[in-house]
Amino acid sequence: MYFVLTDNKTVAMKPSDLGPMFDIRLDTQLRVELEGNLSKNHDGTIVHIINIVDKSKPKIQDGTGMALVNVVFQGIIFRPFKNEVMDCWVSEVSKLGFFAYFGPMKVFVSRSSMPDDVIFRETATPVCYSDADQTVVIQQDSE
């Protein structure tokens, strides 16, 4: 589910960011660009940048004046696997299944993926899925 990864990214820095606070500004820019976004190389969401392992010397980009820095960093990535069981928050329920959030991801759980004893109760308020004795109830805003 959570992994530590080493990856690289080219960060474009403004000329005004060059100077004595460059390392702090580079770290901040890297976090703003990556944390909470999907990793293109690792099929998951980058949750946190742990540290910068290595960085190149800035190279000025022709035409824009931006300083390009290749950064190698370590980060924590959130990547769920198929059939993994997770606690989630239910956001929407319909007769086809329900939508739920866990961490930064939204998933759809199909009716066919639920146990046979769990049925859709359209007349209930709010609509829900539940078993016969209602010990298991899946409704909007439930966990």
pLDDT surpassing 80 at residue 100? yes
What are 26's two structure tokens? Answer: 């580079």
- pLDDT-derived band at 59 (thresholds 50, 70, 90) equals very high
d(CA 48, CA 50): 6
Architecture of domain 2-78: 2-Layer Sandwich (3.30)
Residue 98 has pLDDT above 80, yes or no: yes
Fold (topology level) of 89-139: OB fold (Dihydrolipoamide Acetyltransferase, E2P) (2.40.50)
Mean per-residue pLDDT, 68-91:
91
* The two three-digit tokens of residue 49, written as one number: 């940048």
Instruction: Tell me what percent of the residues of the chain surpass a pLDDT of 70.
Output: 100
Say whether the peptide bond before residue 126 is cis (omega within 30 degrees of 0): yes
Lowest mean pLDDT among 18-22, 27-31, 84-88: 84-88
Residue 39: band (very low, low, confident or very high) from pLDDT cuts 50, 70, 90? confident
